[in-house]
Each structure stands twice: as C-alpha cells, then as structure tokens.
Structure 1
C-alpha cells in the first residue's frame, strides 16, 4: 500500500537517519557561535529524539481534536488546491495530508532542514527559509496556510509580521489556521511548576512572550482583511489521572525533559547540578500520579476576506 505519487519505491533503502543532522554534545562546543547554534537547536527541537517526539505529538493532537485541521477546507483539498505549512519541522502534518489529498499541492517551510529531502510524495515540496525574513511566495497564492507549535518561536513583533505574511500569501476566501498549546499552571504540582517556569524563563530571555498564544485570536483580529477568528480548545490531564491520552502526553513531556539539551538548559536556568535535575524529572513521574496538571491545546482559524471591488 502507498501513495501512487510516492518516491518510496526507488528510495526504500534510504535510511531516515541520513535526512537529519546529528547535533554535537554540549561538551564539544568551543565557540560562542556554536553555543548559540546549540541553543537554537534546543528551541527548535531538531535533535533525533525531539523529532521522534514531534511525530508522536502530531498524532496525539490529531486524536485530541479528532481531525488534522479545523478550517472548512476539506472539499477544496479533495478537489485540488494549494497549501502552505510554516515551521513544518520534520513534515509529519504535510506528509500525512499530501498522501490523503493527492490532487492538492503542499509546501512546507522551516528554518532547519529536518524535513525529508527525497522520500516524499510528488505533490509535496519542502523549502528551507526563515519566515521572519518574509515568505518566498507571491500575494494570494495559497488556499490554506497553516502553522502549528510556533508560539515560542517568535517575539511579539515577529508574530505581527508573520501573521501579516500569512494573510498576504493566502488567497481571498482562503483559510488561515494556527494551532498550539496554551500557557498556564492549572493543577500543576510544585516540581512541574518549577521545571516549566525554568523553560518559560529561557524563552523570556529571547524576548518571547510565552502567554501570547492565549490571546492570539484578539491579536489576529487587529490585522486587515481578516474575518471572524474562530477558537477551538481541547484540554486533558497530564499523567495517569488523564487516562490513555494523559499517559501518552506524560511520556512526551518526560522524553523531552530527559533529553541532553533540555537537561542542560533547564538545570542551568534553575541553578542546580545535572544529577539533581535528573532526580527532579524522576520525581515528576510520581507527582503526576497525585496531581491533575491540565494541558490546553488550541486552534485558531479564520478566512481571508474577499477583495472588495
């Protein structure tokens, strides 16, 4: 079984590990530039284990919302249209949709080349580019533009620009959708709160507003040529008290916290030794059994207004 447009037949022996670059260990970093590149990899989640986490997280979000998108665009996808995903990462969302909707052309943009270079359907193209420098497309080019898990990548000023770019490249009557998780402390125990506060502090040092996503619909509506911004929220409990979904998300959280890069950044932010940090992560698993830490995921979708003539 497989998509008739896929290149898998000729490339089935290609190892997926050749498609991503293994990042160096912290101990081997020598220059300030290398340090900043390493931290960029942390914030962009581009090491091998993080890419696996992103794949798992993609399917979990699809299960939570019972769909891969909320915009009313499916009829156009079936008929054939043009779709853009910014910050596409390893391309999981695009790979799934491009196989399902063979008549539609899909494009993915990311600052890091962690997406497949060869093993992909023919109706899917990946482009390495920094969206904060502007999208390399003409005005009114896409029927559907999409961004997911990008709230911690942009400063508020960059968000204004990115939103304007998404609007610019979307056709009048086309749809724009942004999905992410909200920032909050509901039900969190002291260990989880301390770890998450350290994560947020590391982003704040880069002028990232970690709470911006909570009110993105209001920010979005300030832009011209935008209709009503629809907001859909889904929440669940992290850990065994949240059932199967909660346990899966707990595994995702713990896997990320146990990564070498996360451990380095977070332990330094808290001001503790690495071994103490590892003990905290182990204790967090037990804390999840006693608490009802809530995770809230949100989707915003809107339609670009038709041109007035």
Structure 2
C-alpha cells in the first residue's frame, strides 16, 4: 500500500526534518513536514492542556497535536509510531548511566574491605538504577526498583542486572506516561496510533535479550541498530539521541500569566512567593511549562475560559515588557 510519513518541523531551535527526509528518501517514503511556529504553538498549547486534563508539562505536546491534526486534514486514520523501542532495547541515556553506578575499578576492589563492599551493595540495591527523573522517590526505590533488581537474581555482573531492571521499570513507568499522553492527543484529532514495537512476540524477544545485545560499545539499542543498517542511512542510525525537542523559546515570556491567576489563589501564595516562582519560571523552561500549564488548566476547568482566550493571553504576555 502507498504510505507516507510525517515529521514535526519546529521553526524555533533545532529541527530533525532534514534527517527525517534523508531517511524517507533512502527507503522511498514521501515525508511531509508539519511546521510549528510560535503563533501555532500558542494556539496549540492551551488545547493540549484541555485534552490531556493536566498541565501539559512538555513543549512537545503541541507538536504532537499539530501532527495529529495534519493527519486528520490529510485523511489519515492510522499512524505507526516507535514507542517502546527505547524501553525494550535500551535506548535511553539514563539506562546506560545505570551501568556506571555499579562499576568499580580493580584497584578499589583490591583494597576495599568485604564489609565496605557489602555496605555499598546494600546501598545500591535500595536504588539500583537511574530513570527518567533521576533515581526515583524513596518509596519508589524501596518497592519497585529493588523488587525488579531482586527478581533478576542470577544475572551477572550486577551492572547488567541493574541495566535490565531499569529497562523493565521504564516499560512499567515511563512508557505508560508516553502512551497515555500520545493516545489522548492523537485521538483528539480522531487519529489512531499503532505501536509495532509493542507486539507481544517482539516484547517477549526483547525482554529476554542480554545486556550486551541492548547496550554495547557505548551504543544503546545496539541490536536494533545493527538490523537498521540494512535499511536506513548510517548517519541517522548513529546520530546522537535528542528525543522530541521543542525549543525553550516557544514558551519564553509566558510566565506573566501567573500574575493574579487561579493558581496563586489555589495555592495561597504570598506576593513574594509568587514573585519567586515567576522568576524561577522565567529562568527554567520545565518550571515555566509546568506552572503556566497548571494556570491554564485551572482557568479552563474552573474559570470557564476558552482555549482561544488563553491563546490571546499567551500572546499578550509574551509581548509584554518583563515584570
């Protein structure tokens, strides 16, 4: 059947459109760019908050909704996506960093006492691997991470054991969030996302692979990339992983929306506390996305504001002098 692909093309910051087009040409698939400029971002951001019923804390959600709406406009009903490949085949940087947690030079092993080694093992066992937010909350470390690590008893060395446990954990946690978010945004445009990597037999195959087939020579998804060499441009296969980036410039200047808003009243912040939080949102994109997103969520669901009115407010705040 005739197929074509899509790539989000942000007009601020970095875009992977050229690399995606290189892949499309290599395999003979037409690729369509979905441009997102700042005006389009301000239009989409409040609507992603509405559809997700959360603060929409990642700027990429606007790009995902733009892509889904372009598919609907083109008459596309179903999209194939790559979710699950990083979790199953070890593609995340924090999974690789887990191995380093457990590494110890031969010199340290030689001179460290057995009691000291046992203490280090016990400490690491309580938080055996890193994840997308670091090393998890205390309850998360004590309950889920340790149990996963213990269930892989028999896998050695311990760094491999922790690495595989982190892959399982990401299937349980990180992937769950991705699938939920992406499903909501695609279905907002009546487009169904299908995930070939999450086919049962492929999951079973990947979960039984040893670490060396997932991470080797400082390369994540090693086995998957070796297979991809037969079909895709090598420079794309081994390019540095960047995730779905949307520049911080898209949301810059919107922190003023917090002045006199619903979030301040709900949290009972003092004027000085609000000023501190606005300063933090001005300096840090994750804080800005989360705080402004929460403000929009409250205005939509408690204040009855429309997404169109919030788009106008975002434009006004971004154009206003810094305060």
Q: Give the alignment's TM-score, normalised by structure 2.
A: 0.22
Q: Which has the larger radius of gyration?
A: 2
> Which structure shows the bigger proportion of residues in helix conformation?
2
> Which structure shows the bigger proportion of residues in strand conformation?
1
